[in-house]
Amino acid sequence: MAGFFNTLKRLSGGDGALPTFLSTHPDPGDRNRRVGELATQAQQNMDPSQLKVNRDSYLRMIDGIVHGEDPRQGFVENGMFYHPELKFQFSIPQAWKTLNTPSQVQMAPDNGKALMVLGLENVKTLQEARDKVIKDNGLQVIESSSIQVNGLPAIALLSDLVQQNQQGGQQSAPLRVLTYLIQYNNLIYKFHGLSTQADFNTYFTNFQTTMRSFRALTDAAKLNRKPTTIKNKGSCQNGYFTTASGG
């Protein structure tokens, strides 16, 4: 998790400034360092003499909780991202890492030279979404077109994003951004694929292939995927716990 902030830092320039659509991860360079500091501090401040064993109450509390990630909120399988609750799916570039949060799905290669983000735009129409994305992020639009993505109405944008440093000056390496806005089930989904202008052509096919793969999820096996939960086998005094997968 901490290492993922290094990818954001590479794309944001030396001062950590980020585009608006990445604002859920402010100051990524500092957060990478802070994660390590907090972990060390927590271990140093721990007083073993103050620890207590409340086995029975603990076992009762964790009985039935989800073990690992809840697939209902999105999961990756065989190079595909599935979201049973929102009923959509899309492909992920081979060997890219994925980070699924409540507000965004983020994808990046190991070298940190590109990033894709999927989120929602809280507006009613595609045109409103287009105007808002451009304004909020200060995009300099190169191309804009209305398209269809697997039968869904969409808008594709190719833009440049010239970031500003903390002193208000222009960064030396502006970003190029491919944006797809897709209307599905009364929601507006927004994909951003970004890299430096120098590297953009290397990743353009990855961006476009993923965005064009967005479609309705209809596979019952994926829609009905249940989380793995912890189950208490027997009484708390003599019992043990096992994991049970919902399949």
- pLDDT at position 4 is 59
Q: Which domain holds residue 111?
A: 69-223
Q: What is the CATH number of the domain that holds 107?
A: 3.40.1000.10
Residue 156 resides in a domain: yes
- pLDDT at position 27 is 54
Cross-strand pairs, 192:
117, 179
Residue 46 resides in a domain: no
- pLDDT at position 155 is 98
- pLDDT at position 21 is 59
Please state whether the predicted TM-score (pTM) of the whole model is above 0.75.
Answer: no
CA distance 118 to 65: 28
Residue 149 resides in a domain: yes
- pLDDT at position 97 is 93
Residue 109 resides in a domain: yes
- pLDDT at position 115 is 94
- pLDDT at position 229 is 87
Residue 41 resides in a domain: no
Amino acid making up residue 170: Q
Residue 236 resides in a domain: no
- pLDDT at position 60 is 86
- pLDDT at position 81 is 97
Residue 5 resides in a domain: no
Residue 89 resides in a domain: yes
HSE, CB side, 13 Å, CA atoms: give it for residue 126: 19
* Average pLDDT of adjacent 10-residue blocks, the chain of 247 residues: 59 52 55 76 82 85 84 93 97 95 92 94 96 93 97 97 61 84 97 95 98 98 90 61 61
Number of domains making up the chain = 1
- pLDDT at position 180 is 98
CA distance 169 to 101: 32
Amino acid making up residue 208: Q
